[in-house]
Amino acid sequence: MNMESSSAHKATLAHARVAIRARTYWSAFSERPVGNAYGEGAVEAGEMAFKALLGKQFPIDQPNSRNLFAGAEKSPYGMELGITYPRSSVAELVAAGQAAMAHWPAVGPDARAEVLIEAVVRLNRASPLMAAAIMHTTGQAPTMAFQANGPNAQDRALEAIAYAFDAMEAVPRHPVFWEKKLHNQRPPMRVEKHFRIVPRGISVAIASGTFPTWNSYPGIFASLAGGNAVIVKPNPRAILPMAISVDIIRGALRDAGYDPNLVTLCVDTPEELIAKDLALDPAVKIVDYTGSSEFGEWLEENAKQATVYAEKTGINTVIIDNFDDLDGMASNLAFAFCLYSGQMCTTPQNVFIPEGGITSGTRSYSFDEVAKRLAGAVDELVSKPSRAAEILGAIQSEATLERIDEARKAGEIVLDSRAVDHPKYPQARMRTPLIVKLAGDDAANQNRKCFGPIVFLVPTRDTADSIARMQASAQANGAMTVSLYSRDRETIARTELAAAKAGVNLSVNFTGSLYVNLSAAFSDFHGSGANPASNATLVNHGFVEGRYRVVQTGIELGSTS
Amino acid sequence: MNMESSSAHKATLAHARVAIRARTYWSAFSERPVGNAYGEGAVEAGEMAFKALLGKQFPIDQPNSRNLFAGAEKSPYGMELGITYPRSSVAELVAAGQAAMAHWPAVGPDARAEVLIEAVVRLNRASPLMAAAIMHTTGQAPTMAFQANGPNAQDRALEAIAYAFDAMEAVPRHPVFWEKKLHNQRPPMRVEKHFRIVPRGISVAIASGTFPTWNSYPGIFASLAGGNAVIVKPNPRAILPMAISVDIIRGALRDAGYDPNLVTLCVDTPEELIAKDLALDPAVKIVDYTGSSEFGEWLEENAKQATVYAEKTGINTVIIDNFDDLDGMASNLAFAFCLYSGQMCTTPQNVFIPEGGITSGTRSYSFDEVAKRLAGAVDELVSKPSRAAEILGAIQSEATLERIDEARKAGEIVLDSRAVDHPKYPQARMRTPLIVKLAGDDAANQNRKCFGPIVFLVPTRDTADSIARMQASAQANGAMTVSLYSRDRETIARTELAAAKAGVNLSVNFTGSLYVNLSAAFSDFHGSGANPASNATLVNHGFVEGRYRVVQTGIELGSTS
């Protein structure tokens, strides 16, 4: 790194530290793949770079003594990627991480932050390549693949570095002179105290198959900032985005003179899963995880030697009360339902609507009229194949298709799910959202998480009942988001209180181009840790502080040679 | 509270917030029971107030529907206290705490900090009473009973309030205006965001029998500051100090218009222990604990619905290397061994000395000469009964006497333990320290925690071996303190590194009137959380942040009525 970049990185860190406390809008990176930020023809160059990786061994120079390689990714848009990755053993990755940690803690928070920000900047430059890699592993459509896994994910990484740095700054970095005067003429007690940031050990990041970078960068960068080494364990369906990430971070570390084995990739196969062995290794002291509640809870129960930060599944809800802008509501919710075919931890699933309907403006709308309005808005949104492809993306997993079929039987179909032809990829696995009206007392289906493009409309006695159901569901099933539409301030206040009790973030009256699914770095806290959907927050001080300890030395003054 | 006290409390909080980051010497309270701070005759008044409580029901007006009372404390100085306390049921205390939490979270961090500081100030005024209560439950001698459980404990409470407030201040307390401009002529996204501090639920403080106030105030005050209600569960041997504390905090809450049931006392009996039931109650979300590793680990394994902050037992060590001021070392260590008869989690137990001896000044001292010097210093310190009584205090538990007898068989007795007559309390349970030389390869005894006045001298190959043993022991057994005596900078640096790896705080060359056992609020971090002796630190940001969550509301602007 040259001096310019060092001073630029310092400025970025300073901005980020202000931003995490202000929580107004701030971003370090452009969301536009076209234009000046990424250079002329960046999108095409990214696609070319992606294609150049297909059918080969991914070039990553980490320990792999067995010389085994694995990888069987298949794009939800149809093609086999044919890329293989080093299948290093857990033991050699742990040993390499521990060896790399011999010097990393002593480097100090400033130097660590600087090289990590350099890594984030390099990740940013690679955003067009990342977009292609994400698209053909997760199924995300190009725009989301670029924004959410490029600049937005990089912002979350920067946010984690800023929080870690900010937290470590609360501990004196220079020796402290402690003097206590005594009342009885005895000489004062005088001690020089040193406070040392001590890392926890090996940190493991278990990435999801749908948002691998966005969800795992915070843990990876916070752990590195705290002085730990990180082993990244991608989902076998979405290895490439994490392989690219690991490779770029390794390059930044290497170029700055640090051991690249501070970050390694741990690849497994669906036939021989390795996550459990990795998470239970005694050297592993931190585990970050995003994925199913089942495995998240297994980690919490079993990986007792480690601090586990887990984002699991929940059921997100919408409460529709009397509200005037039905068109704005319907189009906003339709987009929220459709975006990436509901394969987001923030997508709404259960929509509570009073069985007697609502009022809007001067007239009343029955439950079925509201349902029809929502269905119409969804249908409209996905009517044109090109637009449908850009919003829906592709379905990552076959299991999601089965889930749609299953959900059809849950109640009365308001809008059926149908296959869509992708204009460019004829093999793409695409489905429009299914909207089903459940019976109001169908607790089984209301409490069933249906990951994917599945929306349940639930009749309630009234909005008070909707609020109570939202709270009970979030407390029992977990939830990342609640969305409310109401023109009544009192109802908004009561919902806010219920959401706070259930530990779930509330979005009120979103009718424009901002959607409940989206979480903005430096402003939105993603996951509260206060209901079963997560035990931590992306990102806050609590997310970073368990990644290091402070150990002190006190030297009595005058007594050393 | 009047305006003066409110403004004084604000100033105290501001000072405390500076102090937690500076970590130089600062204290809010006087350590001298005589003089101006506590008024004329404060000590005598405290004793009188204590005596007035004996043989009666302790007046605390918390729910106790069964009208049961319990209490069978016996002073280690001989007398029965005869005080009984309401034996409220867990269910009614949980319900009362939950009811009290209906309003407490909305009060906000400022108002909570203010009334909590008022409570700490009231505790400070009651320090003379607390000293008598501590002395006759824990066995501490009068000076320590006053200082450690009065002003020093109150400082730690204030430190916890300051950390909690500081942490909560990282989250915007006023609505934030978030605006994201869009590039394609669309109107900007505009959202007003509110961030709400949400408490976890019922917090339980399980206090120790030896330092009930000092160890449990941080958890109690941090939980209250975060908006939780706290149930205090004292050790059946040392209920009175916590009953007084709970009563005083309740008074401050009540006088400020808050529900006093935010803090209640949960008393059990040795025949019917209640800590497990209490810790496993589903409403309990936070547990603070100080005590045996056995129960601490049980809590960590079983109280999964809660965040557990546990300080458990460890084995503290001393490394003696070549060092010039042998007199200073011996007298300092002797005091550290004797203070409160080794009944501190910070007391050294294993002393590593090279088998070939050390050099001091221009001459050599054999292992046995060093041993003799230490034994001589201890013997000297406890030779006068009045001084012995002031330093040793009394032995709290019969089990400690048995432990001394057991330890006599571990090796060669260098200094035997003997009973001492207390000048004022003929029944006092007092013993001088036992010093035993172990075989260098006696791993069983070197890895056995012997709580009480028991010191093992361990011959090592050389100081490098001593350092390695210290590190291995701290990593395996846990440790709160390591003490090193060396004139060699290189050895100091190597020990510092080894101590950091083992996550244990190091004191170097203490020869004056500061002892390794003592931990100063606002400067020393007590417990690193980095070895088996503790999983948390008194006090840092990490200790307070798990006591609340943040839940946000985003309201799209322009869309509400």
Cα(B541)–Cα(B525) distance, rounded to whole angstroms?
A: 11
> Is residue A115 within 8 Å of residue A258, measured between CB atoms?
yes
Query: Which 3 state secondary structure label does DSSP give B37?
Result: coil
Over 80: is that where the pLDDT of A218 sits?
Answer: yes
pLDDT tens sequence across A47-61:
999 999 999 999 999
**CB-based contact A556 B195, cutoff 8 Å:** no
Determine the pLDDT at residue B1. Answer: 46
**CB-based contact B23 A193, cutoff 8 Å:** yes
Across A208-259, where does the E strand assignment appear?
229-233
φ, ψ for residue B40 (rounded to 5)? -60, 135
A561 in B contact zone (CB under 8 Å):
yes
Give the best residue of A549, A560, A561 to mutate against chain B (max B CB count within 10 A). Answer: A549
Closest partner residue to A555 (CB to CB) among B503, B508, B549 is B508
Question: How many Å lie between the alpha carbon of B170 and the closest alpha carbon of chain A?
Answer: 6
**Given phi > 0 = left and psi -120 to 50 = alpha, else beta, which region is A31?**
alpha
Residue numbers of A between 10 and 49 with CB closer than 8 Å to B: 20-25, 32
Residue numbers of B between 55 and 74 with CB closer than 8 Å to A: none
Determine the pLDDT at residue A4. Answer: 55
pLDDT confidence band for B330 (50 / 70 / 90): very high
Determine whether domain B3-18+63-311+537-550 maps to CATH 3.40.250.10: no
Query: Which 3 state secondary structure label does DSSP give B87?
Result: coil
Determine whether domain A3-312+537-550 maps to CATH 3.40.605.10: yes
φ, ψ for residue B268 (rounded to 5)? -130, -175
Task: Give me the mean pLDDT over the B59-65 stretch.
Answer: 95
Cα(B438)–Cα(B455) distance, rounded to whole angstroms?
A: 10
**CB-based contact A506 B554, cutoff 8 Å:** yes
Chain B residues closer than 8 Å to A537 by CB: 549-550
φ, ψ for residue B441 (rounded to 5)? -105, 15
Please tell me if the domain spanning B3-18+63-311+537-550 has the same topology as the one spanning B316-508.
no
Over 60: is that where the pLDDT of B77 sits?
Answer: yes
Task: Give me the mean pLDDT over the B552-556 stretch.
Answer: 96
Over 50: is that where the pLDDT of A559 sits?
Answer: no
Q: What percent of chain B has pLDDT over 70?
A: 99
In sequence order, the 6+-apart residues with CB closer than 8 A to the CB of B525 are A195, A550, A552, B505, B537, B538, B539, B540
Determine the pLDDT at residue A1. Answer: 46
Determine the pLDDT at residue B191. Answer: 96
pLDDT confidence band for A184 (50 / 70 / 90): confident
**CB-based contact B24 A501, cutoff 8 Å:** no
Cα(A237)–Cα(A242) distance, rounded to whole angstroms?
A: 11
- The CA-based angle A150-A153-A156, given to 5 degrees, is 145
Over 90: is that where the pLDDT of A193 sits?
Answer: yes
Output b/e per residue, A493-516; b: 16+ Cβ within 10 A.
ebbbbbbbbbbbbbbbbbbbbbbb
Helix (H) or strand (E) holding B455, with range, is strand B454-460
Output b/e per residue, A153-174; b: 16+ Cβ within 10 A.
bbbbbbbbbbbbbbbbebbbee
Closest partner residue to B198 (CB to CB) among A180, A500, A540 is A500
DSSP string, A192-222: EEEEEEEE-SEEEEE--SSSHHHHHHHHHHH
- The CA-based angle B342-B347-B351, given to 5 degrees, is 105
Q: What token pair was written down for A414?
A: 């308001």
Query: Which 3 state secondary structure label does DSSP give B33?
Result: coil
Nearest to B235 by CA among B264, B277, B206, B213: B206
Question: How many Å lie between the alpha carbon of A425 and the closest alpha carbon of chain B?
Answer: 28
Over 60: is that where the pLDDT of B561 sits?
Answer: no
pLDDT tens sequence across A141-156:
999 999 999 999 999 9
A195 in B contact zone (CB under 8 Å):
yes
pLDDT confidence band for A187 (50 / 70 / 90): confident
Task: Give me the mean pLDDT over the B311-326 stretch.
Answer: 97
Give the best residue of B285, B550, B551, B556 to mutate against chain A (max A CB count within 10 A). Answer: B551
Query: Which 3 state secondary structure label does DSSP give A10?
Result: helix
Cα(B362)–Cα(B369) distance, rounded to whole angstroms?
A: 15
Q: What token pair was written down for B70?
A: 């319990």
Cα(A439)–Cα(A460) distance, rounded to whole angstroms?
A: 9
Look at the block and give the residue holding tokens 């059809």: A408
Nearest to B204 by CA among B106, B90, B103, B345: B90
Q: Which residue of A has its CA nearest to B508?
A: A555
pLDDT tens sequence across B123-163:
999 999 999 999 999 999 999 999 999 999 999 999 999 99
Mean pLDDT over all residues of chain B?
A: 96
Over 90: is that where the pLDDT of B345 sits?
Answer: yes
In sequence order, the 6+-apart residues with CB closer than 8 A to the CB of A238 are A73, A134, A137, A138, A207, A208, A209, A210, A212, A396
**CB-based contact A508 B553, cutoff 8 Å:** yes
Q: Report strand pairing: A316-320 vs A481-485.
A: parallel
In sequence order, the 6+-apart residues with CB closer than 8 A to the CB of A135 are A75, A77, A141, A142, A145, A393
Output b/e per residue, B100-120; b: 16+ Cβ within 10 A.
bbeebbeeebeebbbbbbbbb
pLDDT tens sequence across B180-211:
988 777 889 999 999 999 999 999 999 999 99
A438-452, A479-493, B50-64, B183-197: least confidently modelled range: B183-197
User: What is the longest distance spanned by two Cα atoms in chain B?
Assistant: 90
Question: How many Å lie between the alpha carbon of A394 and the closest alpha carbon of chain B?
Answer: 26
Closest partner residue to B556 (CB to CB) among A512, A542, A561 is A512
Over 50: is that where the pLDDT of A359 sits?
Answer: yes
Query: Which 3 state secondary structure label does DSSP give B464?
Result: helix
Alpha helices in A32-138 (DSSP H): 42-53, 90-100, 104-125, 127-138
User: What are the residue ranges spanned by the domains of chain B?
Assistant: 3-18+63-311+537-550, 316-508
CATH domain A316-508 topology = Aldehyde Dehydrogenase; Chain A, domain 2 (3.40.309)
CA dihedral sign, ordered B427, B429, B435, B440: positive
> A with B: how many residue pairs have Cβ under 8 Å apart?
226
B523 in A contact zone (CB under 8 Å):
yes
Task: Give me the mean pLDDT over the A333-355 stretch.
Answer: 98
Mean pLDDT over all residues of chain A?
A: 96
Cα(B140)–Cα(B136) distance, rounded to whole angstroms?
A: 8
Question: How many Å lie between the alpha carbon of B514 and the closest alpha carbon of chain A?
Answer: 6
> Is residue A536 within 8 Å of residue B490, measured between CB atoms?
no
Residue numbers of A between 487 and 506 with CB closer than 8 Å to B: 487-489, 492, 496, 499-501, 503-506
Over 70: is that where the pLDDT of A205 sits?
Answer: yes
**CB-based contact A179 B499, cutoff 8 Å:** no
In sequence order, the 6+-apart residues with CB closer than 8 A to the CB of A104 are A112, A199, A227, A228, A229, A258, A259, A262
Determine the pLDDT at residue B104. Answer: 97
The secondary structure of chain B in percent helix, strand, coil, rounded to multiples of 5, reads 45, 20, 40
Closest partner residue to B528 (CB to CB) among A530, A537, A550 is A550
Cα(B43)–Cα(B248) distance, rounded to whole angstroms?
A: 19
φ, ψ for residue A353 (rounded to 5)? -130, 135
**CB-based contact B487 A546, cutoff 8 Å:** no
In sequence order, the 6+-apart residues with CB closer than 8 A to the CB of A242 are A207, A212, A213, A216, A232, A234, A265
Chain A residues closer than 8 Å to B297 by CB: none
Residue numbers of A between 259 and 318 with CB closer than 8 Å to B: 300-301, 304
Q: Which residue of B has its CA nearest to A328?
A: B559
Over 90: is that where the pLDDT of A185 sits?
Answer: no
Determine the pLDDT at residue B4. Answer: 55
Chain B residues closer than 8 Å to A197 by CB: none
**CB-based contact A194 B553, cutoff 8 Å:** no
**CB-based contact B500 A191, cutoff 8 Å:** no
Determine the pLDDT at residue B5. Answer: 76
**CB-based contact B198 A503, cutoff 8 Å:** yes
Question: How many Å lie between the alpha carbon of B512 and the closest alpha carbon of chain A?
Answer: 7
Question: How many Å lie between the alpha carbon of B546 and the closest alpha carbon of chain A?
Answer: 7
Over 50: is that where the pLDDT of B315 sits?
Answer: yes
Over 50: is that where the pLDDT of B560 sits?
Answer: no
Nearest to A122 by CA among A114, A110, A132, A134: A114
Residue numbers of A between 422 and 481 with CB closer than 8 Å to B: none
Amino acid at position A537, single letter? T
Task: Give me the mean pLDDT over the A314-328 stretch.
Answer: 97
Task: Give me the mean pLDDT over the B289-306 stretch.
Answer: 94
Over 60: is that where the pLDDT of A360 sits?
Answer: yes
pLDDT tens sequence across A543-556:
999 999 999 999 99
**CB-based contact A560 B183, cutoff 8 Å:** no
Q: What token pair was written down for A560?
A: 């050393």
pLDDT tens sequence across B420-438:
999 999 999 999 999 999 9
Determine the pLDDT at residue B111. Answer: 97
**How would you class A184 by CB atoms within 10 Å of its CB: exposed for 0-12, middle for 13-18, buried for 19 or more?**
exposed
**CB-based contact A23 B507, cutoff 8 Å:** no
Cis amide bond preceding B539, omega within 30: yes
CA dihedral sign, ordered B76, B78, B83, B87: positive
Determine the pLDDT at residue B185. Answer: 75
B198 in A contact zone (CB under 8 Å):
yes
